Amino acid sequence: MGENGSKVMSAKEAVSRFINDGDEVIIGNYTVGTCMALVFEICRQHKNELTLYSQSGVLDVDILVNAGCVSRLVTTYVLRSGGKNGGGAVERALLSGSLEIEDYTNFDYNARLVAGMHGLNFIQVLEGVIPTDLFNRRGFLGENKYRVIECPYTGKQILTVPAVNPDVCIVHVQRADEFGNAQYWGAMGSVAAAALSSKRIILSCEEIVSRDVVRASPHFTIIPSFRVDALVQVPWGAHPTEVLGHYNMDSPFYGIFTNANTKADKARKWIEEWVYDCPDRESYLNHYITKFGIGALDQLRSKPFYSTPANYGAAFTSVWDENGRERAMGLTLKELEARLEERGLLYE
Amino acid sequence: MSKGYTLNELLIITCAKEIKDYQKVILGVGLPTTAGALAKALYAPHAILMMESGIIDFEPLVPLNHIADAHSCRGFSYSTDLFTTFTMTYRGFVDICFLGVGQVDRYGNVNTTCIGDYHHPTLRLTGSGGAPDFIAYAKKTVLTLRGGQFVEKLDYFTSAGHLSGGDSRERSGLFPKGSGPSMLLTTKGVFNFDPVTKEMYLARIHPGVTAEEIKKEIPWDLKIASDLSLTERPTDREIDFVRRFAPGESVGREMRTELSIQKVLNRAAEMKGTSA
CA angle at B257 for the pair B256 and B262, rounded to the nearest 5°: 100
CA–CA gap between residue A280 and residue A257 (Å, rounded): 19
**Nearest alpha-carbon partner for A209 in A249, A174, A171, A238:** A174
H helix or E strand, kind and range, residue B214: helix B211-216
- Given a cut of 60, whether residue B276 has pLDDT beyond it is no
Task: Say which of A187, A193, A291 has its CB closest to residue B70.
Answer: A187
Is residue B47 within 8 Å of B21, Cβ to Cβ? Answer: yes
Q: Distances in Å between the alpha carbon of A94 and those of A26, A123, A179, B124, B271?
A: 20, 29, 41, 8, 40
Judged by DSSP in three states, B168 sits in helix
Percent helix, percent strand, percent coil in chain A, to nearest 5: 35, 20, 40
Mean pLDDT of all residues in B45-58: 96
| CATH code for the domain in which residue A38 is found | 3.40.1080.10
User: Same structural domain for residues A111 and A242?
Assistant: yes
**Nearest alpha-carbon partner for B239 in B12, B19, B18, B1:** B12
Beta bridge partners of B209: none
Which one-letter amino acid corresponds to residue A175? R
Examine residue A308 and state whether it is found in any structural domain, yes or no. Answer: no
* Predicted confidence band of residue B262 (pLDDT cuts 50, 70, 90): confident
Task: Say which of A76, A114, A242 has its CB closest to residue B128.
Answer: A76
User: Same structural domain for residues A228 and A116?
Assistant: yes
Which pLDDT value is given to residue A114?
98
Task: Say which of B74, B126, B268 has its CB closest to residue A80.
Answer: B126
Is residue A229 within 8 Å of A18, Cβ to Cβ? Answer: yes
**Nearest alpha-carbon partner for A169 in A30, A320, A292, A340:** A30
- Given a cut of 60, whether residue B275 has pLDDT beyond it is no
Q: Where are the domains of chain B?
A: 7-245
Examine residue A2 and state whether it is found in any structural domain, yes or no. Answer: no
Min mean pLDDT across A287-291, B28-32, B41-45 is at: B28-32
Examine residue A306 and state whether it is found in any structural domain, yes or no. Answer: no
User: Same structural domain for residues A169 and A72?
Assistant: yes
CA distance B157 to chain A (A): 5
Which pLDDT value is given to residue B13?
97
Which pLDDT value is given to residue A4?
61
pLDDT digits (tens, 9 = 90+) for B173-193: 999 999 999 999 999 999 999
User: Same structural domain for residues A169 and A131?
Assistant: no
Question: Catalytic: B199?
Answer: no
- Put simply, whether A62 touches B (Cβ < 8 Å) is no
Q: For residue B29, how many C-alpha atoms fall within 13 Å in the half-sphere facing its CB?
A: 20
Examine residue A303 and state whether it is found in any structural domain, yes or no. Answer: no
- Show the low-confidence residues of chain A (pLDDT under 70): 1-5
Domain spanning B7-245, CATH architecture: 3-Layer(aba) Sandwich (3.40)
User: Same structural domain for residues A193 and A211?
Assistant: yes
CA–CA gap between residue A22 and residue A38 (Å, rounded): 17
Please, which residues have CB within 8 angstroms of residue A81's CB and are 6 or more apart in sequence? A62, A87, A88, A257, A258, A259, A261, A262
Instruction: State the average pLDDT for chain B.
Output: 94
Q: For residue B209, how many C-alpha atoms fall within 13 Å in the half-sphere facing its CB?
A: 22
Mean pLDDT of all residues in B31-50: 94
- Put simply, whether A140 touches B (Cβ < 8 Å) is no
Which pLDDT value is given to residue A1?
60
CA–CA gap between residue B32 and residue A60 (Å, rounded): 25
CA–CA gap between residue A210 and residue A17 (Å, rounded): 26
DSSP A63-106: HHHHTT-EEEEEES-BPPBTGGG-B-HHHHHHHHTS-EEEE--H
Which pLDDT value is given to residue A3?
56
For residue B6, count CB atoms less than 10 angstroms from its CB and return exposed for 0-12, middle for 13-18, buried for 19 or more.
Answer: middle
Domain count, chain A: 3
Strands (E) across chain A are located at: 24-27, 50-54, 70-75, 100-103, 122-125, 147-150, 157-162, 168-177, 182-183, 200-209, 221-223, 230-233
The A residues from 190 to 249 touching B (CB cutoff 8 Å) are 190-193, 242, 244, 248-249
CA distance B201 to chain A (A): 23
Residues on chain A touching B125 (C-beta within 8 angstroms): 80
Min mean pLDDT across A163-167, A262-266, B106-110, B262-266 is at: B262-266
Examine residue A176 and state whether it is found in any structural domain, yes or no. Answer: yes
CA distance A255 to chain B (A): 7
CA–CA gap between residue A315 and residue A322 (Å, rounded): 13
* Predicted confidence band of residue B254 (pLDDT cuts 50, 70, 90): confident
pLDDT digits (tens, 9 = 90+) for A70-88: 999 999 999 887 777 788 9
Is residue A214 within 8 Å of A181, Cβ to Cβ? Answer: yes
**Nearest alpha-carbon partner for B110 in B148, B53, B66:** B148
Cis amide linkage into residue A240, ω under 30° from 0: yes
User: Same structural domain for residues A67 and A157?
Assistant: no
pLDDT digits (tens, 9 = 90+) for B136-174: 999 999 999 998 999 999 999 999 999 999 999 999 999
User: Same structural domain for residues A20 and A154?
Assistant: no
Min mean pLDDT across B124-133, B189-198, B257-266 is at: B257-266
Task: Say which of A111, A132, A256 has its CB closest to residue B83.
Answer: A111
Examine residue A211 and state whether it is found in any structural domain, yes or no. Answer: yes
User: Same structural domain for residues A39 and A52?
Assistant: yes
CA–CA gap between residue A45 and residue A325 (Å, rounded): 62
Mean pLDDT of all residues in B45-69: 94
Q: For residue A332, how many C-alpha atoms fall within 13 Å in the half-sphere facing its CB?
A: 5
> B94 or B1: which carries more pLDDT confidence?
B94
User: Same structural domain for residues A105 and A243?
Assistant: yes
User: Same structural domain for residues A46 and A150?
Assistant: no
> Is the Cβ pair A131, B68 closer than 8 Å?
no
Which pLDDT value is given to residue A207?
98
CA distance B69 to chain A (A): 7
By percentage, how much of chain B surpasses pLDDT 90? 86
User: Same structural domain for residues A244 and A109?
Assistant: yes
**Nearest alpha-carbon partner for A134 in A109, A158, A97:** A109
Which pLDDT value is given to residue B257?
80
User: Same structural domain for residues A65 and A114?
Assistant: yes
Domain of A247 in residue numbering reads as 11-121+164-298
CA–CA gap between residue A77 and residue A47 (Å, rounded): 23
